[in-house]
Amino acid sequence: MVDVVAKKETYYKGVKTQDLNKIPNDQLLKLMTSRARRSLKRGQTYDQKLLIGKIDDALKLKAEGKEFKQIKTHSRDAIIIPKMVGLTIGVHNGIKFEPIDIKPEMVGHYLGEFALTRKRVVHGKNAAAPEGGEAAAPKEEEKK
């Protein structure tokens, strides 16, 4: 017999993620944090409207079974909405576009939260050494 692994159902604040696209916007806003709720009530900026247009185009291509390019955006202040779930969005971090796979748990957060703008500082003997640096210093036997 073949064991069938059941797909784990995911929830966003008590609502199945499959049902998030079906619920009205006013109920969706009640599920989000107050900051996200206020931001969405104020309306979208021009860049956010362009991003939503690109997402709609990508969803149409995905429904038709066609390939589509990664969606790229500089709009780090865009709030993740349910229709973005399952897409990969390239968010600019100041240097390059970081690919972010949107998951149901990310709904209500900003895109910029997932594309870090600073590198992690690593302390240690060879951490800040340039290519080879101190680690590439000649060994005692090479000096002779």
29-59 confidence digits (pLDDT tens): 888 888 888 888 888 889 999 999 999 999 9
Phi first, then psi: give them for residue 79, nearest 5 degrees.
-85, 135
Count Cα atoms within 13 angstroms, Cβ side, for 110: 12
Q: Is the pLDDT of residue 87 over 60?
A: yes
Taking the domains of the chain in order of start, what are their residue ranges? 11-123
First and final C-alpha spacing in the chain: 70
Please state whether beta strands 71-73 and 88-92 pair in parallel, antiparallel, or not at all (unpaired): parallel
User: What is the rounded CA–CA span in Å between residue 31 and residue 123?
Assistant: 41
Please state which CATH number belongs to domain 11-123.
3.30.860.10
Count of other CB atoms within 10 angstroms of residue 79: 20
pTM strictly above 0.75 = no
Tokens of 8: 């784990």
What pLDDT does 91 receive? 94
